[in-house]
Amino acid sequence: MKSAPFFAFLLFLAAFPAFSSAQNPAPIRYVEGRKIFFLEAGTVSYVFGINEQGQLQHIYWGGRVSRDADFPAAQSSADWSSFDLGSTITPQEYPGWGGGLYVEPCLKVTYSDGNRDLVLHYAEHHIDGNSLTVTLKDMERSLFVQLRYTVYPQSGIIRRESVIENRTDQPLVVENAQSAALYVPRGDGYRLRYLSGRWAGEWQLNQEPVHTGVKILESRRGSTSHQTNPWFALDRDGNSDSEHGPVWFGALGWSGSWRMSIEETPHQQVRVTGGFNPFDFGYSLAPGEKLETPAFYAGYTDQGIGEASRILHQFERTEILPNGSGLRTRPVLYNSWEATEFNVDEPGQRALAEKAASVGVERFVMDDGWFGRRNNDRAGLGDWYVNPKKFPNGLGPLIARVHQLGMDFGLWVEPEMVNPDSDLYRKHPDWAMHFEGRPRSEARHQLLLNLARNDVRDYVFNWLDELVTKNDIAFLKWDYNRNWSEPGWPEVPVDQQKKIYVRYTQNLYDILDRLRKKHPKLEIESCSGGGGRIDLGILRRVEQAWTSDNTEAFDRLTIQQGFTYPYTPHIMMAWVTDVPNLNGRSVPLQYRFLVAMQGSLAIGANLTKWQQEDFTLAKDMVAYYKSIRETVQNGSLYRLTPPDDSNFKASQYVSPDQSQSVVFAFLHSQQFARMLPALPLHGLDEKSTYSVTRFDGKERPDATPGAAKLSGAYLMNHGLDLPLKGDYDATSFKLERVTE
Ligand code: GLA
């Protein structure tokens, strides 16, 4: 029953609509008189308008300003001189290349008559709840662009993409198609953060001042790449620390060649474009044909890079990752790769599965080597039948044993690749990406299947579907172990061949989407020789990602910290493996477990070589992880130490209701018997009291605080005293809210 005062309130709202809209304004508004669009999402405002020339002009992106009247109508910039016309200075939301534009354009085309001028003007718009479509049209020809804006009220993130449509009666070629141009407030002194790396060394954070000129972040490799990840963050004055100050950030949802430009114009305007990589690009559009760009997600916070990451993490968990039935907790996983490499067979895998189950593993994954004549990396890719010598009775008996042990079963696949030494390649040499009559560069002895071809796409879907239908497989580790070379597609007309850059990725997504739809319980990991294909496009279609082939725990601290700038620890797969590992380094098992617990914990060691004490420790560690994993996977992450401190690293995770928190701390080497300073925490309820228990599998009779109760205020202002000593020491604290 609703009360009488409630109805009175409704009547009041009906009588004073201005009151209700001021209290809760629509997330997207258009003010006709001044031709301004207001997008409000969370604590963020994004404002642009139609200027007197009909161009779509950026006005503001930053902290929320809800008073529409504060913003004047868009007014194009005057010419600065005969060398800088107003058209290049005006911050256009989506500038075409034409009319004297020298900044990075969003769109560049060549018409069939050789005309290359493109000047986009506002045509119409449509608002539908949280989404807005603004249609632009060339000033004269029937080339249309739909700019889509979607606001996500929870996170303040705005998603942009564009659809380019040729409504002329002649074909044209799109040479550059970006998703959006983004503008931060005009001025000098910005700092750019981005991630770069290489195989076994992904996720290195770069921080550098932005100066006049263009910085290009890109992959020309056909996929997202280890080289640079499609994410950026900009802050002001170089002094925004991890938890304070304004940060503008963005990430692309595209798993093919991509590019972002971070440009400071001679007029102190920092602007970012992001979309398809224009290198070797040329997408021909027949009359009536359309091209849709990748999604470009943009966010803002005034609470530092730490909050920028947390916004993205939460956004990924709620809006990006497949979560139809709610985000599923990541199970503790075992993977056979580092233990057996290609030498998999039924007895060997059974033995590993039994040992894995004994320490609490929940998912057993058999990696490479189970199919075709795959005894090393020289042969077999493409021949996806179970190797009869290694598994004389198929996969059934191994899967049954894994189930009997209380685990589910996962399998490694690399569907986009083919070894020249395979039945598939001998039958279909034309299915491999190539230029006619040119050598095909092999990498790891393999070639890429041209997934842009629909027959190849369907072949790949069909064998995967059959594999998952015939076997009780809960999980696929989907690998992709090389980048493109000779990206030819000679079977289609010349003017269609460069479509490979778009069609390949679209068909990859299509296979994943169809597979998921047909097998809704199937979970998938995106792997590309480690973290070479992680972006907001693939993450719509997979539950988790393989962070890096570098599983050496000390290196992992830096790799994992870098990973968390854009991506949630929920998807960050982290294995405990054997030592000595990369760099010849050996660190204690206790340290290795605590490093891996900062993401989604897995074991990748050769368990047949472990000693009893290793199993005892592992069992305790896995049980501990299970008691904190909801907080690690779905909580708020605070990076407590700066990225460039490799001697001491610490991280903290807080559950959404602040009732649990977990802290991990790692010391590389103690020098001069120096003690570590107290470690102040974040994100707790200052008025609550927390029980503090330390867990690291080591006896520490002299350590403080040991087990204690401490207030949130103490933990955040004074901080935790750390008992770390010597080399490669590590510890963890679990904090739980108690009533006193
Ligand atoms: C890639 C993956 C590894 C492993 C091997 C198997 O390198 O990143 O984890 O699966 O392939 O060949």
Tens-place pLDDT, residues 205-248: 999 999 999 999 999 999 999 999 999 999 987 667 899 999 99
Tens of pLDDT, residues 515-552: 999 999 999 999 999 999 999 999 999 999 999 999 99
* Protein residue closest via CA to atom 8 of ligand 1: 529
What is the average per-residue pLDDT within 291-315? 98
- Burial of 614 by CB count in 10 Å (0-12 exposed, 13-18 middle, 19+ buried)? middle
Choose one of 336, 371, 527 to mutate for the ligand 1 pocket test, by most ligand atoms within 8 angstroms of C-beta: 527
Cα 24 to Cα 20: distance, rounded to the nearest angstrom = 6
Q: How far is the CA of 516 from the centre of ligand 1 (A)?
A: 22
Under 8 Å between Cβ of 319 and 158? no
What is the average per-residue pLDDT within 571-598? 98
Tens of pLDDT, residues 434-465: 999 999 999 999 999 999 999 999 999 999 99
pLDDT at 379 over 80: yes
In the structure encoding, which two tokens stand for residue 519, read together? 């097998």
Residue 401: enclosing H or E segment and its boundaries?
helix 396-404
pLDDT at 4 (0 to 100): 45
The residue ranges of DSSP E strands in 374-515, in sequence order, are 408-413, 417-418, 447-448, 475-478
Answer whether 481 contacts ligand 1 (Cβ < 6 A). Answer: yes
pLDDT at 495 (0 to 100): 97
Q: Cα torsion at 644, 645, 649, 651 (round to 10°)? A: -40
% of the chain residues with pLDDT over 90: 92
Answer whether 546 contacts ligand 1 (Cβ < 6 A). Answer: yes
What pLDDT band is residue 740 in, cutting at 50, 70 and 90? Answer: confident
Question: Token match 């739809």: residue?
Answer: 517
Q: Cα torsion at 682, 688, 693, 694 (round to 10°)? A: 10
pLDDT at 21 (0 to 100): 43
pLDDT at 7 over 90: no
Question: Token match 């629509």: residue?
Answer: 26
What pLDDT band is residue 148 in, cutting at 50, 70 and 90? Answer: very high
Answer whether 367 contacts ligand 1 (Cβ < 6 A). Answer: yes
pLDDT at 59 (0 to 100): 98
Under 8 Å between Cβ of 661 and 735? yes
Helix (H, G, I), strand (E, B) or coil at 612: helix
Q: Could you list the active site residues?
A: 479, 549
Q: Cα torsion at 462, 464, 465, 467 (round to 10°)? A: 120
Q: What is the pTM of this model?
A: 0.96
